Amino acid sequence: MGHKEAQPQPLTKYPPLAASPAAAGGHVDIGALPSPRLLATHLPMSLLRPETRSLRCRVVYLCRDPKDTLVSRLHFENKVARGGGAGLLMDDAFGMFCEGFSPYGPFWDHCLEYWEESMVRPDTVLFLKYEEIKSDPARVVRRLATFLGIPLTEEEEGSGVAEEVARMCSFEKLTGLEVNQVGGVSHGNKVHVDNSVFYRKGEVGDWANHMSREMGEKLDRMVQDKLQGSGLVF
């Protein structure tokens, strides 16, 4: 379907977290959802069900520079925790990150698992970096469409569908939507997450405004050492 005939998109009506069936807490019977299913997870590749490979499920993995990852995660966690505490300081968060303490395992291990899988199964695992999306979003839209088996038609290319999808999903567009500026989602009586928390700056290299050059260089060296020989670089 061309973008001119498309119906209003979910992104314009719902914040990201509200699109998840598990947003209200509890467990969801994924098997009961109609096919094709679109699932989102933070789990490392090694913890996904074996059927992910055997059934040749398509996996799209997204990561970003570890320094920006740390800064973004710190701001997010501190905003979520503001009702129950002051949150972490950068020095403490940096030390924990370098030691591999993260909700879903060490950053380098997480990335490496998906990277290596994408090398073995490039037709079913697409490895993307946030930086390349920011640099040329329309190109990534085309790449994603091809990966999913629905490449853009000549007519769609001519009418600028890739550019329109990129514009609609841009940081600037999403932050300007009312659904992402007001309201939030509560998880029982413990955590309330404001919709605006999911959008901060969306910039590449913002880490330099929050950590010293020495910290950045140390983290770069550590990640390079952990990824040595894999072909994956940041």
What's the rounded Cα separation, in Å, for the pair 124 and 107?
22
pTM of the model: 0.86
Of the residues 3, 27, 42, 192, only one is catalytic, namely 42
Rounded mean pLDDT, 90-113: 94
pLDDT band of 9, cuts 50, 70, 90: confident
Which among 111, 121, 165 has a CA at the least distance from the CA of 139? 165
Please tell me whether residue 121 adopts helix, strand or coil conformation.
Answer: coil
Q: What CATH number should be reported for the domain whose range is 40-135?
A: 3.40.50.300
205-212, long-range: CB < 8 A, 24+ apart: 205/65, 205/68, 206/68, 206/71, 207/65, 207/67, 207/68, 207/70, 207/71, 210/71, 210/74, 210/90, 211/67, 211/70, 211/71, 211/90, 211/94
What's the whole-number mean pLDDT along residues 175-188? Answer: 76
Among 11, 66, 26, 38, smallest CA distance to 225 is for 66
Averaged pLDDT score across all residues of the chain: 87
* % of residues, the chain, pLDDT over 70: 86
Confidence category of residue 10, pLDDT binned at 50, 70, 90: confident
DSSP letter at 200 equals: S
Question: What three-state secondary structure class fits 87?
Answer: coil
Of 8, 51, 3, the residue nearest 179 (C-alpha): 8
Burial class from Cβ neighbours inside 10 Å (0-12, 13-18, 19+) for residue 232 reads buried
Residues 180-199: what's their mean pLDDT? 72
Q: Is 42 an active-site residue?
A: yes
Tens of pLDDT, residues 105-122: 999 999 999 999 999 999
- 25: how many CB neighbours lie within 10 A of its CB? 11
**Residue 194 pairs with which residues in a beta bridge?**
184
Write down the domain spans for the chain: 40-135, 139-182+195-203
Q: Report the distance separating Cα 11 and Cα 145, nearest Å.
A: 18
**Token pair for residue 220?**
């770069």
Look up residue 46 and give its DSSP letter: G
